[in-house]
């Protein structure tokens, strides 16, 4: 186990071989509609231990279990409350992760000792087919070293995890580019723990009264155990990340120092001050290119990445959440 594995490349026509390897205990990254996931059999404690080790992930940060049908869901969760079922009917398959009471079959290492298990059914056709062929639920944290930007291309996964995992399913770049929304439906009122493409307005439309706990959970020690992953610094490139509103550009004189890169939906006013400018077509495009841009800017030797602030609407909420965590200093 550890950093001496040969990481095999699986083409899309080799999914069945990759799925066989999963059943034999392998750890294999695969594409989903959000980000690449680092997959292993959710019932295999040894493979689970290997995932924490490969990512350098703190043991107190639980994993999401991915299912491809209702039978698997009921192997993973001991009970699916009506409120959860109504959201499943509305949003699955898709980028919504629900906390449910954990079944006995799920090892406690998956949930970091919590009584709940996070579950989602991805919509990406490769992801669904991979789980179906594996014929077991798959744990899949984002396929990156802990703390780094999530992998949205197979090459990004290889950059972080080559030699540490058994394989990578080499699919296309992921469509959404940011991780799923995490919702605690067992809490009254139901609360969002992490923002994603299924936004709060869509969720409230289906279930009025949902609250946003993503910030409280992250900062409030008393609440920290409710979603352990949210307290960790995250999504960080080697460069410093700064959040810039279009209006405030240039107001901060320190913004002139170092090799700077820009990402946003507008061009910056002082475009000549930037070594690299990534102008996105809209906020969905911004979300899908954010993590790959972080990695590209690291390759280009950028010191500071200026990221345009966006309105807290739609996937804008998830973008701002990731930018805040990426910009936290140690
Ligand atoms: O889009 C996604 O969700 C991707 C793809 C691969 O599906 N996966 C992903 O996994 O982002 P990961 O491990 O990077 O993030 C899981 C998040 C963490 O913030 C973790 O703390 C939270 O979900 N989580 C998992 N189980 C939990 C539980 N039982 N209670 C509270 N939070 C939980
Ligand atoms: Mg992650």
CB-based burial label for 206 (10 Å; 0-12, 13-18, 19+): middle
With a cut of 50, list the residues of the chain below it in pLDDT. 1-2, 219-224, 253
In the reported structure, the alpha carbon of residue 215 is separated from the centroid of ligand 1 by a whole-number distance in angstroms of 16
Query: Distance between CA 309 and CA 317 in Å, rounded?
Result: 10
Q: Which atom of ligand 1 is nearest to the CA of 64?
A: 25
Is 167 near ligand 1, meaning CB less than 6 Å away?
no
Report domain extents, the chain: 8-212, 240-326
Write down the pLDDT at residue 216: 78
Write down the pLDDT at residue 220: 47
Write down the pLDDT at residue 329: 79
Query: Distance between CA 329 and CA 258 in Å, rounded?
Result: 17
Q: Which atom of ligand 1 is nearest to the CA of 226?
A: 31
- Which of helix, strand or coil describes residue 28? strand
Nearest CA to ligand 1 atom 6: 37
According to CATH, the topology of domain 240-326 is Rossmann fold (3.40.50)
Query: Distance between CA 223 and CA 235 in Å, rounded?
Result: 22
According to CATH, the topology of domain 8-212 is DHBP synthase (3.90.870)
**pTM for the full model?**
0.94
In the reported structure, the alpha carbon of residue 236 is separated from the centroid of ligand 1 by a whole-number distance in angstroms of 17
Query: Distance between CA 23 and CA 138 in Å, rounded?
Result: 10
Write down the pLDDT at residue 232: 56
**Cβ neighbour number for residue 35 with a 10 Å cutoff:** 26
The secondary structure element, H or E, covering residue 101 is: strand 96-101
CA proximity to 287, closest of 67, 9, 34: 34
Which of 108, 142, 160 has the most ligand 1 atoms within 8 A of CB, as the residue to mutate?
Answer: 142
Q: Which ligand is nearest to the Cα of residue 110, counting in written order?
A: 1
Write down the pLDDT at residue 230: 61
User: For residue range 225-266, what is the model confidence (pLDDT) as tens digits?
Assistant: 556 666 656 889 999 999 999 876 655 545 566 899 999 999
- Most distant CA pair in the chain: distance in Å? 59
């Amino acid at each position: 186990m550890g950093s001496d594995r040969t990481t095999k490349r699986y083409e899309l026509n080799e999914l069945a071989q990759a799925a066989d390897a999963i059943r034999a205990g392998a750890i294999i990254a695969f594409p989903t509609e959000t980000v690449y996931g680092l997959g292993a059999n959710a019932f295999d404690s040894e493979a689970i231990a290997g995932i924490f080790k490969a990512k350098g992930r703190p043991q107190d940060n639980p994993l999401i279990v991915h299912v491809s049908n209702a039978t698997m869901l009921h192997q993973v969760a001991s009970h699916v409350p009506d409120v959860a079922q109504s959201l499943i009917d509305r949003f699955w398959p898709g980028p919504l992760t629900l906390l449910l009471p954990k079944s006995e079959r799920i090892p406690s290492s998956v949930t970091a000792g919590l009584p709940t298990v996070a579950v989602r059914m991805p919509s990406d056709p490769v992801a669904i087919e991979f789980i179906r062929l594996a014929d077991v639920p798959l744990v899949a944290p984002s396929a990156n070293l802990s703390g780094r930007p999530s992998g949205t291309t197979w090459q990004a996964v290889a950059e972080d995890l080559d030699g540490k995992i058994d394989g990578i399913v080499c699919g296309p770049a992921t469509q959404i580019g940011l991780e799923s929304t995490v919702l605690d439906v067992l809490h009254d009122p139901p609360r969002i723990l992490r923002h994603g493409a299924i936004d709060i307005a869509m969720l409230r439309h289906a279930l009025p009264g949902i609250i946003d706990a993503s910030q409280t959970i992250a900062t409030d020690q008393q609440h920290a155990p409710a979603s352990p992953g949210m307290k960790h610094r995250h999504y960080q490139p080697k460069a410093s990340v700064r959040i810039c509103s279009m209006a405030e550009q240039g107001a901060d004189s320190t913004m002139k120092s170092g090799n700077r890169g820009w990402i946003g939906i507008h061009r910056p006013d002082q475009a000549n001050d930037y070594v690299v400018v990534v102008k996105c077509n809209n906020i969905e495009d911004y979300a899908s290119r954010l993590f790959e841009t972080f990695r590209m800017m690291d390759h280009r030797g950028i010191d500071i990445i200026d990221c345009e602030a966006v309105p807290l609407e739609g996937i804008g909420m998830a973008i701002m959440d990731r930018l805040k965590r990426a910009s936290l200093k140690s």
